[in-house]
Structure 1
Amino acid sequence: MKLTTVTRAFTRLALHTSVALPLVLAPAVSVTVLESAGMKVSFAQAQAQQKTRKVPAMRENVFKKLGKVQEAADAENWNEALAALREMEAGKAKYNGYETAQMYYFYGFVYYSMERYKEAITYYKKVLAQGAENLPVALEVGTLLTIAQLYFVTENYDQALNYLNKWFAAAEKDQITADSYALRAQAYYQKGDNGKALSDINTAVSMYEKEGKVPKENWFGLQRFLYYEKNDYKKVTSILEKLVKHYPKAEYYKQLAGMYGELKRDKDQLHMMEAAYIAGALQKEKELLNMAYLFMGNEMPYKGAKVIKKGLAEKKIKRTSKNLETLAQAYQMAQELQKSIPELEAAAQLSDKGDIYSRLAGIYLDLDKNQKAVEMGAKALKKGGIKRPDQLYIVLGMANANLKKYDTALKHLKEAKKYDRSKKFAEQWIAFVESEKKREEQLAI
Structure 2
Amino acid sequence: MTTMTKGISRFVLRTSVALPLVMAPAVSVTVLEAVGVAAPFAQTEAQSDEKTRKVPAMRENVFKKLGKVQEAADAEDWNAALAALRDMEAGKEDYNAYEMAQMYYFYGFVNYSMERYQQAISAYKKVLAQGVENIPVGTELNSLKTIAQLNMVTENFDEALKYLNRWFAASDSIGATDYALRGQAYYQNGDEAGALKDMNKAVSMYEAKGKVPKENWLSLQRFLYYEKNDYKTVTSILEKLVKHYPKGEYYKQLSGMYGELKREKDQLHMMEAAYIAGALQKEKELLNMAYLFMGNDVPYKGAKVIKKGIDEKKIERTSENLETLAQAYQMARELRKSIPELEAAAKLSDEGKLYSRLAGIYLDLDKNEKALEMGGKALKKGDLKRPDQLYIVLGMANANLKNYDNALKNLEKAKEDERSEKFANQWIGFVEEEMKREEQLAI
Matched, 1:220 2:221: no
Does the Cα contact within 8 Å between 2:109 and 2:120 map onto a contact in 1?
A: yes
How far off is 1:45 after superposition? 7.0
How far off is 1:312 after superposition? 2.0
The equivalent of 2:16 in structure 1 is: 27
1:432 to 423, 430, 435: 430
The equivalent of 1:148 in structure 2 is: 148
Does the Cα contact within 8 Å between 2:43 and 2:142 map onto a contact in 1?
A: no
Q: Deviations over 1:365-384 (max 9, x none)?
A: 11111111111111111111
Supply the distance in 2 between the matched residues of 1:44 and 1:442 (Cα, whole angstroms).
105
The equivalent of 1:50 in structure 2 is: 50
Q: Which is worse superposed, 138-147 or 435-444?
A: 435-444
Does the Cα contact within 8 Å between 1:141 and 1:171 map onto a contact in 2?
A: yes
The DSSP-based 3-state class of the residue aligned with 2:419 is coil
Q: Deviations over 1:43-74 (max 9, x none)?
A: 9974x322121111111111001111111222
Does the Cα contact within 8 Å between 1:30 and 1:143 map onto a contact in 2?
A: no
1:404 to 402, 416, 429: 402
Does the Cα contact within 8 Å between 2:44 and 2:175 map onto a contact in 1?
A: no
The equivalent of 2:33 in structure 1 is: none
Matched, 1:114 2:103: no
Q: Deviations over 1:271-290 (max 9, x none)?
A: 11122222222222211111
Q: TM-score, normalised by structure 2?
A: 0.91
The equivalent of 1:183 in structure 2 is: 181
The equivalent of 1:300 in structure 2 is: 298
The equivalent of 1:195 in structure 2 is: 193
Distance 1:199 1:32, change over 3 A: farther
Supply the distance in 1 between the matched residues of 2:266 and 2:437 (Cα, whole angstroms).
62
Supply the distance in 2 between the matched residues of 1:410 and 1:282 (Cα, whole angstroms).
53
Supply the distance in 2 between the matched residues of 1:117 and 1:242 (Cα, whole angstroms).
36
Q: Which is worse superposed, 304-313 or 294-303?
A: 304-313
Q: TM-score, normalised by structure 1?
A: 0.91
The DSSP-based 3-state class of the residue aligned with 2:350 is coil
Q: Deviations over 1:177-196 (max 9, x none)?
A: 10000000000000111111
Does the Cα contact within 8 Å between 2:293 and 2:302 map onto a contact in 1?
A: yes
Does the Cα contact within 8 Å between 2:41 and 2:146 map onto a contact in 1?
A: no
Does the Cα contact within 8 Å between 2:412 and 2:424 map onto a contact in 1?
A: yes
The equivalent of 1:98 in structure 2 is: 98
Supply the distance in 2 between the matched residues of 1:248 and 1:432 (Cα, whole angstroms).
66
Supply the distance in 2 between the matched residues of 1:126 and 1:337 (Cα, whole angstroms).
81
Does the Cα contact within 8 Å between 1:355 and 1:385 map onto a contact in 2?
A: yes
The equivalent of 1:19 in structure 2 is: none
Distance 1:59 1:44, change over 3 A: farther
Supply the distance in 2 between the matched residues of 1:353 and 1:45 (Cα, whole angstroms).
74
Q: Deviations over 1:280-324 (max 9, x none)?
A: 222222111111111111111122112222222222222211111
Does the Cα contact within 8 Å between 1:24 and 1:63 map onto a contact in 2?
A: no
How far off is 1:31 after superposition? 5.4
Q: Deviations over 1:128-181 (max 9, x none)?
A: 1111221111111111111111111111111100001111111122xx110000
The equivalent of 2:8 in structure 1 is: none
The equivalent of 1:207 in structure 2 is: 205
Does the Cα contact within 8 Å between 1:29 and 1:43 map onto a contact in 2?
A: no
Q: Deviations over 1:101-146 (max 9, x none)?
A: 1111111112112211111111111111111221111111111111
> Residue type matched to 1:251 in 2?
E
Does the Cα contact within 8 Å between 1:37 and 1:179 map onto a contact in 2?
A: yes
Supply the distance in 2 between the matched residues of 1:223 and 1:43 (Cα, whole angstroms).
22
Aligned residues between the structures: 421
Distance 1:115 1:194, change over 3 A: same
Matched, 1:259 2:260: no
Does the Cα contact within 8 Å between 2:339 and 2:358 map onto a contact in 1?
A: yes
Map 1:12-411 → 2, pairs under 5 A: 25-29=14-18, 32=21, 35=29, 36-38=37-39, 41=42, 46=47, 48-173=48-173, 176-411=174-409
The DSSP-based 3-state class of the residue aligned with 1:422 is helix
The DSSP-based 3-state class of the residue aligned with 2:418 is coil
Gaps of 5+ in 2: 1-10, 23-27, 30-36
How far off is 1:41 after superposition? 5.0
Does the Cα contact within 8 Å between 1:30 and 1:43 map onto a contact in 2?
A: no
Supply the distance in 2 between the matched residues of 1:430 and 1:218 (Cα, whole angstroms).
73
Supply the distance in 2 between the matched residues of 1:202 and 1:414 (Cα, whole angstroms).
74
RMSD: 1.9
Distance 1:428 1:260, change over 3 A: same
Supply the distance in 2 between the matched residues of 1:97 and 1:411 (Cα, whole angstroms).
110
Q: Which is worse superposed, 108-117 or 75-84?
A: 75-84
Supply the distance in 2 between the matched residues of 1:102 and 1:85 (Cα, whole angstroms).
11
Distance 1:44 1:420, change over 3 A: closer
Supply the distance in 1 between the matched residues of 2:376 and 2:45 (Cα, whole angstroms).
90
Q: Which is worse superposed, 400-409 or 308-317?
A: 308-317
> Residue type matched to 2:129 in 1?
A
How far off is 1:42 after superposition? 6.3
How far off is 1:444 after superposition? 2.1
